[in-house]
Homo-oligomer: A and B are copies of this chain.
Amino acid sequence: MKVGVIGTNWLVEEMISIFNKCGAEVLAVYSRSADRAKFFSENNNIKLYFDDLEKMLQVDDIDIVYIASPNAVHHEQAELALLSGKHVIIEKPIVLKLDDLQDLIDIAEKHKLFVFEAVTTLHLPNYQKIKEMIEEIGDIKLVDLNFSKYSSKYDDFLNGTIKSVFNREMGGGALNDMNVYNIHFLLGLFGTPRKYTYYPNVERGIDTSGIVVAQYDSFTATLSAGKDVVGNSHISIQGVNGLIRSSSSSSTIENFEFVTFDKSVIVDVQDKNIYEYEMQDFIKIIENRDVESYKELLAQSRNVVEVLERINNE
């Protein structure tokens, strides 16, 4: 399969080799800036480059469009790609509004295409292991997820140069950028909370960090994310019979510790680049037209978008 990518950031660069490993080839790149598109294509051995998205979408050979642009333009670009007959893989958060998501789902269905949210968490073997093992720790009482990392763009932000990830109109902020992983992690294990409250730290109109408090019937979880702090990512799920903890973020889950009253083991069943798992899953779903797995992923994305939309509208 051939891929056209939208965006020229470090993640797109990483994805080129990931697609290769999954048997797909990045054939074309689009950037608003012709110079950047050209530079990126030359630097990464990509045959075609475009500063006109519609032109890239006219390339028949492209089967999949991978979208890694600012969150605010995900919907529009995905719609165009689907209408051009391409499958779409969109970086998290897939979109920021339920209506936008429904629109994409409808178009994809009509054209027998797939639309995916690229969020590492759900596809990580260590996450699936946590899902398997969590029953053993008994009733859950305390959940605390922290994904935090000082962003080099935060210095620019403080100096007045505002990049997309710190731009509200571009769908930036710590909630949409990093806490999305925590929300996926949480909802994948426990479903949609009955209530959630966001406590953002707002600077210049954007949440540079913040905490989501998510209430379930029998416990409350706190999800912290920060782009403005020295990082201390961790996962802590405490039950009456045991504990699952990790010093990794919910985006990587490099390993986790499984503790009960009489034992403590380190679990790690991952040996690939974290992005390989998601891409492998998407390509397999497309190849096998595995609608069941597809719908499961979409259902989770829908639940997460619902949380994001509500919080963003508060």
Contacts and interface: CB of A to CB of B under 8 A. Distances in A.
Interface of A: 137, 141-142, 144, 146, 148, 150, 154, 199, 201, 208-211, 213, 215, 218-220, 222, 224, 226, 228-232, 234, 236, 238-243, 245, 259-261
Given A146-B144, A148-B142, A236-B232, A201 B218 contact: yes
B220 A229 contact: no
A222 B201 CA distance: 14
17 contacts: A137-B230, A141-B226, A142-B232, A144-B144, A144-B222, A146-B236, A150-B240, A154-B240, A201-B218, A201-B219, A209-B219, A210-B220, A213-B213, A230-B261, A231-B238, A232-B238, A232-B245
B242 A230 contact: yes
Contacts of A219: 201, 209
B232 A141 contact: no
A230 B243 contact: yes
- Counted per complex, copies of this chain come to 2
Contact of A211 (B220, B231, B259): B220
A38 to B, nearest CB: 35
A229 B222 contact: no
A228 B215 contact: no
A218 to B, nearest CB: 7
A201 B228 CA distance: 31
B230 A259 contact: yes
Contacts of A222: 144, 211, 213, 222, 224
Contacts of A213: 199, 211, 213, 222
A120 to B, nearest CB: 22
Contacts of A199: 213, 215, 220
A166 to B, nearest CB: 14
Among the interface residues A142, A209, A222, which one has the most CB atoms of the partner chain B within 10 A? Answer: A142
A240 B228 contact: yes
Nearest to A242: B230
A245 B209 CA distance: 18
Contacts of A150: 240, 261
Given A144-B222, A201-B141, A241 B230 contact: yes
Nearest to A202: B218
Contacts of A218: 201
A141 B228 CA distance: 8
Contact of A209 (B142, B241, B242): B142
Nearest to A259: B230
A222 to B, nearest CB: 5
A229 B243 contact: yes
A34 B260 CA distance: 39
A260 B150 CA distance: 11
Given A211-B220, A231-B238, 18 more contacts: A137-B230, A141-B201, A142-B201, A142-B226, A142-B232, A144-B146, A144-B222, A144-B224, A150-B240, A199-B213, A199-B215, A199-B220, A229-B238, A229-B239, A229-B240, A230-B239, A230-B241, A230-B242
